[in-house]
Amino acid sequence: MRPAATLLAPFSLACLVAAAPYALPPERETTLPAGPGAELVQAQCAACHSLDLVTTQPPAMGEAFWRKTVGKMVETYGADIPEDQQAAIIAYLAQTPIKAR
């Protein structure tokens, strides 16, 4: 029977290789088109997640989609967005053509 150290040697080597440092690519800054409500989207949405989540949505989703999405962020995820700001955010997202950059 082999000693435990001999049996564990390949596993130990695999762990060392797997622990090699890995660097993520630099995060790019996402900008939104200017317009009424852009600052609110930047402040409120980016408080919880990357703006990439906003800019990678299918284009021209319309008011109903954004009303449901903003409502989900408030009701399900607990985003603290006042109702008057929700309306401005929804209007901006529904009316502004946003492309991933």
Per-residue pLDDT averaged across 83-89, rounded? 96
Residue 54 resides in a domain:
yes
Domain that holds residue 60: 31-95
> What's the pLDDT score for residue 85?
97
Tokens coding 66: 């954004």
1 is a domain residue: no
Residue 58 burial (CB count, 10 A)? 6
Instruction: Report the alpha-carbon distance of residue 37 to residue 83 in Å, rounded.
Output: 13
17-51 confidence digits (pLDDT tens): 556 687 877 877 888 999 999 999 999 999 999 99
Q: Give the total number of structural domains in the chain.
A: 1
The DSSP letter of residue 64 is H
Q: Residue 47 corresponds to which amino acid?
A: A
